[in-house]
Structure 1
Amino acid sequence: MNAASLGRGPKVRAAVLAATVAELGEHGYAAFTIENVARRTGVHKTTVYRRWPDRDTLIAEALSESVATELPIPDTGSIDDDLPALARGLVEWITSPAGRAVLAVMQTGPTGVPTPSDPVRHVFRDRIRRALPPVARAVARGELPPHTDPAELIKALVAPIYLRVAITGEKVDDRTADRAAAVALTAARAGLFAEDPSPRP
């Protein structure tokens, strides 16, 4: 692919963001360079630097867009359907090239290896925030106890999936997703994710 075939504007942006995800997935965060992204995209590196002044700005935008488009938030009208659907979507995404890119960024390397900046890590905090509405709707419908902390429930849903993929290297599939959803729902209905009533500083 060359610059002439890409044209300008949205096509270049889309190609650069896709190349960023691919580079992360293949080579990891520490080895990531804007020069390699430019080479993969077929544009001059100054074209990339003109829009993204440093690599973390580029990575944050690429991952944010990838996560937003590839992890839709379900709204079936029932938390018993929403949560498994969310977990299955996570499994599908985390085993995709985009998901592997995210893992490459988040996995900590040895001492002295560059680590992601706060804007890059914000992508993942934002992803949790975007997944909260199904839980809030379930509380409003009376499907979950009042004062259920949506963020704690979503973290409990994600944790066993992430553990298998990133730590133990196990295969994940729809059964993994369904079990994670069932455990998270059981804990939520038992009141284990109640928000702390004490005032926060």
Structure 2
Amino acid sequence: MSAAGTVRPGGRTARTRAKVLQAALEEVGERGFDAVSVEDIAVRAGVHKTTVYRRWETKDRVVAEAFVEAIDSTIALTDTGDIRDDLRVIARTVLVTVQSTAVNAAVRTLMSGGHSSEHVRRFLLGFFDERLVQVTPVIQRAIERGQLPQGTDPVLLYKHAIGPLYYRHFIMADPLTPADAVMTADAALAAARAGTFVLPLASPEVPPSRATHT
């Protein structure tokens, strides 16, 4: 993902930009979106506030660009031929991601009111949507190989494979390890193979002329 219309400068300007974006992540990660101002970001970055306003204009823009810059939205995808191994790799990758400064700041922002910002909201929705787009073919191939039931919903399986990691990290503050990621992936796979994530077929509507009246 890259910020639309963003031209990355070089030299001293690039170093200043990097300091400002890192400062934005750290400020939001520590204090939450609503509590942070452009002035706070500038002070932390060691630059004048006009430098930030001149390039980004608003806090929303600088925070959104900081997220885009910091988070690599590509999941480590594999095609091992075994959905168990594929899901484990995905879960371990997500674990590393949720423990990163950028994602911690992003989630803190979402929970503290950042969703009201169009720039930040667009980034967060795009980030998670892109992840789903990337992982869906992995699950679809497993269905085609007969490793998952026909009709398995890739979105539901993915959410249950990685959702507990987000919950335990951000809500429970558990110290997670790669073994926890493997356990979560295996639990989601067991549920999927039991048909838990198979979407029910829509029931055909009964034509009015054939409906039974009592």
Q: Does 1:99 align with 2:99?
A: no
CA distance in 1, matches of 2:66, 2:53: 14
Q: Which residue of 2 aligns with 1:116?
A: 115
Q: Percent identity?
A: 36
Q: Does 1:7 align with 2:12?
A: yes
Q: Structure 1 residues 196, 105: closer, same or farther in 2, change over 3 A?
A: farther
CA distance in 2, matches of 1:26, 1:150: 34
Q: Is the Cα–Cα contact under 8 Å of residues 84 and 181 in structure 1 kept in the other structure?
A: yes
* Residues 31-180 of structure 1 mapped to structure 2, 5 A cutoff: 31-68=35-72, 72-77=75-80, 78-108=82-112, 114-117=113-116, 118-129=121-132, 130-180=134-184
Q: Is the Cα–Cα contact under 8 Å of residues 60 and 120 in structure 1 kept in the other structure?
A: yes
CA distance in 2, matches of 1:141, 1:48: 52
The letter of the residue matching 1:126 is: D
Shift of 1:197: 4.0
Shift of 1:23: 1.8
CA distance in 2, matches of 1:144, 1:79: 8
5+ residue gaps, structure 1: 109-113
Q: Is the Cα–Cα contact under 8 Å of residues 63 and 123 in structure 1 kept in the other structure?
A: no
Shift of 1:43: 3.4
The letter of the residue matching 1:116 is: H
CA radius of gyration, larger in: 2
Q: Is the Cα–Cα contact under 8 Å of residues 29 and 105 in structure 2 kept in the other structure?
A: yes
SS of 1:136 mapped into structure 2: helix
The letter of the residue matching 1:122 is: L
The letter of the residue matching 2:43 is: R
RMSD of Structure 2 on Structure 1 (CA): 2.8
Q: Which residue of 1 aligns with 2:187?
A: 183
TM-score (norm. length: structure 2)? 0.72
Shift of 1:139: 2.8
TM-score (norm. length: structure 1)? 0.76
CA distance in 2, matches of 1:166, 1:76: 30
Shift of 1:115: 4.2
Q: Structure 1 residues 102, 53: closer, same or farther in 2, change over 3 A?
A: same
